[in-house]
């Protein structure tokens, strides 16, 4: 079954607006025409996508599922159109750099002057992506098709987890993020002993080498309440702020949330950080990496 992308886009707009009328106004169509498209999409899916109550319009369980996957489908369609448009003019001189709130492009763009000097035909294309687990999983599953490079953790555990290759550029210290309303927000540094009795958010095992080593140290004291999470995204930063927890992280990722403060930790853990690229990179990526080396 092939979904009608026009109907899918209409569905996404209604879900974002929370109202048929508001979505119709934004799309410059009549509410009746919009509702007809939603009904056609529901027929294609074979399920109701919205629950209508006296309080408003809500996504059904089927609607929630389609909303999440539908945004990825529309993003993929947009990317396909861009690639087709660029194919005839960009040749092998365009490096597509992925960027998100937690994965900014400045690590790579800082290298651009050096690369451009050695390769004057080089062009850079910034490709935004959603920093959600499904979107990031899809990115790595098709790494090199829509995005050529992103910045990220380059330790062997992370590269194996993401099935990609990496080039280390520098190391960042691992520290502790705290909400501004937390009693520790005024501390100059945080020792391991300060974590006793605290809720500590720590990346789950097997995703980053340094986080696994920190886990070994902290697990030795049962008074430290370790809470696992799987992904550095806005959700975990919001959780840290909302629950008054402590988050093991680094400064580079903290730019995504203004409500947290980074406090230096009294340990020497560092994260290797640099360029992530496909395991079988294209010739242009190999050339770019050789220039950077």
Domains in the chain, CATH or no CATH each:
5-69 (1.10.10.10), 91-170+274-292 (3.40.190.10), 175-268 (3.40.190.10)
Whole-angstrom distance, CA of residue 186 vs CA of residue 111: 36
What is the model's pLDDT at position 89?
47
Distances (CA, A) of 241 to 158, 182, 199, 223: 26, 9, 12, 21
> Which two tokens mark 177?
């993020």
- Residue identified by tokens 């242009």 is 284
Residues 6+ apart with CB under 8 A from 175: 190, 248, 249, 250, 251, 262, 263, 264, 265
Give the pLDDT confidence score for residue 165 in this predicted structure.
97
pLDDT tens, 221-252? Answer: 999 999 999 999 888 999 999 999 999 999 87
How many other C-beta atoms are found inside a 10 Å radius of the C-beta of residue 175? 21
- pTM of the predicted model, to two decimals? 0.69
Residue 135 in tokens = 């979107």
Our separate counts of H helices and E strands in the chain read 12, 12
The pLDDT, as a whole number, for residue 54 is: 80
User: Tell me, what's the pLDDT at 107?
Assistant: 83
pLDDT < 50 stretches in the chain: 89-90
- Angstrom distance (rounded) from CA 138 to CA 150: 14
């Amino acid at each position: 079954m092939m979904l009608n992308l026009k109907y899918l886009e209409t569905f996404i707009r209604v879900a974002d607006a929370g109202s048929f009328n508001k979505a119709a106004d934004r799309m410059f169509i009549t509410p009746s025409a919009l509702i007809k498209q939603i009904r056609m999409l529901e027929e294609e899916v074979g399920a109701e996508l919205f629950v209508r109550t006296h309080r408003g319009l809500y996504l059904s369980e089927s609607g929630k599922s389609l909303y999440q996957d539908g945004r990825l489908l529309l993003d993929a369609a947009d990317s396909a159109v861009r690639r087709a448009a660029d194919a005839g003019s960009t040749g092998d001189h365009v490096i597509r750099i992925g960027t998100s709130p937690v994965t900014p492009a400045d690590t790579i763009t800082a290298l651009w002057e050096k690369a451009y000097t050695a390769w004057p035909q080089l062009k850079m294309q910034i490709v935004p992506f959603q920093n959600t687990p499904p979107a990031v999983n899809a990115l790595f599953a098709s790494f090199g098709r829509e995005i050529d490079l992103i910045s990220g953790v380059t330790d062997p555990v992370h590269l194996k987890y993401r099935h990609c290759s990496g080039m280390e550029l520098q190391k960042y210290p691992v520290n502790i993020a705290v909400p501004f309303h937390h009693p520790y927000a005024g501390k100059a540094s945080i020792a391991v002993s300060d974590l006793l009795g605290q809720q500590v958010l720590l990346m789950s095992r097997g995703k980053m080498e340094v986080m696994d080593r920190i886990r070994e140290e902290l697990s030795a004291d049962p008074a430290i309440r370790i809470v696992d999470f799987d992904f550095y995204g806005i959700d975990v930063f919001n959780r840290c702020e909302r629950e008054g927890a402590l988050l093991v992280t680094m400064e580079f990722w903290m730019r995504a949330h203004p409500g947290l403060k980074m406090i230096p930790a009294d340990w020497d853990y560092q994260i290797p950080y640099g360029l992530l690229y496909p395991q079988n990179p294209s010739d242009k990526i190999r050339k770019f990496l050789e220039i950077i080396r």
